[in-house]
Amino acid sequence: MLKRLMTSRESLLCAAIILLLVLISTRFPAFAAPSNLARVFNDTSPLILLAIGQMIVILTKCIDLSVAANLALTGMVVAMINVAAPGLPVPVIIAVAIGLGTFLGMINGLLVWKLAIPPIVVTLGTMTIFRGIIFVISDGKWVNSHEISDPFKAFTRAEFLGLPTMSWIALAAVGLFSVVMSRTTLGRAFYAAGGNPHAATYAGINVGQSQFWAFTISGALAGLTGYLWVSRYAVAYVDLAGGFELDVVAACVIGGVAIMGGVGTVAGAMLGALFLGVIKNALPVVDISPFWQLAISGGAIIIAVALNAQASREKGRIILKPTEPSA
- At 283, is the pLDDT very low, low, confident or very high (cuts 50, 70, 90)? confident
Indicate the helix (H) or strand (E) that contains 159.
strand 159-160
Strands 159-160 and 163-164, bridge-based pairing: antiparallel
Q: How many helices (H) and strands (E) does the chain have?
A: 14, 2
pLDDT in tens, 96-155: 999 999 999 999 999 999 999 999 999 999 999 999 999 999 998 999 999 999 999 999
- At 30, is the pLDDT very low, low, confident or very high (cuts 50, 70, 90)? confident
First to last CA, the chain: 34
Q: How many residues does the chain have?
A: 327
Average pLDDT for 214-225: 98
Give me the sign of the Cα torsion angle 291, 293, 295, 298. negative
Per-range mean pLDDT, top range of 150-154, 261-265, 304-308: 150-154
The span from the CA of 301 to the CA of 303, in Å, is 6
Q: Are 173 and 50 in contact (CB under 8 A)?
A: no
pLDDT for 130 equals 97
Average pLDDT for 33-55: 95
Q: What percent of the chain has pLDDT over 70?
A: 90
Domain coordinates of the chain in residue numbers?
42-242
Question: Which of 7-16, 54-63, 207-216, 265-274 is the least confident region?
Answer: 7-16
The span from the CA of 127 to the CA of 292, in Å, is 23
Q: Are 55 and 218 in contact (CB under 8 A)?
A: no
